[in-house]
Amino acid sequence: MPYRRAGRSGLVLPPLSLGLWQNFGTARAYETQRAIVLRAFDLGVTHFDLANNYGPPPGAAEEMFGRILATDLKAYRDEIVVSTKAGYLMWPGPYGDFGSRKYLLSSLDASLKRLGLDYVDVFYHHRPDPETPIEESMGALVTAVAQGKTLYPAISNYDAAQTDAAAAVLADAGTPLLLHQPRYSMFDRTPEDGVLDAVDRAGAAAIVYSPLAQGMLTDRYLNGVPEGSRAVTSVFLHESDITEDVLGTVRALNEVAAGRGQTLAQLALQWVLRNPVVVSAIIGASSVAQLEQNLGAIGGPELGADELAEIDRILG
What is the reported pLDDT for 232? 44
CA distance 207 to 176: 16
Kindly report the CA angle at 27 between 21 and 29, in degrees rounded to 5? 100
How far out from the chain centre does Cα 146 lie?
Answer: 25
Tens digit of each residue's pLDDT (9 = 90 or more) over 254-299:
999 999 999 999 999 999 999 999 999 999 999 999 999 999 999 8
Q: Which stretches of the chain drop beneath a pLDDT of 50?
A: 231-233
Predicted local distance difference test score (pLDDT) of residue 22: 86
* Angle between helical axes of 160-172 and 134-146 (0-180°, round to 10): 40
Res 241: pLDDT: 74
Residue 20's pLDDT is 97
Q: Which amino acid is at 17?
A: S
Q: What pLDDT, on the 0 to 100 scale, is given for residue 220?
A: 85
Three-point CA angle 208, 212, 218, nearest 5°: 160
Which residues, 6 or more positions from 127, have their beta carbon under 8 angstroms from its beta carbon? Answer: 87, 88, 98, 99, 156, 157, 158
- Looking at residue 103, what is its pLDDT? 98
pLDDT of residue 228: 57
Tens of pLDDT, residues 206-251: 999 999 999 999 998 887 666 655 544 455 566 677 788 899 999 9
Q: Report all structural domains of the chain as residue ranges with CATH numbers, in order of start.
A: 13-315 (3.20.20.100)
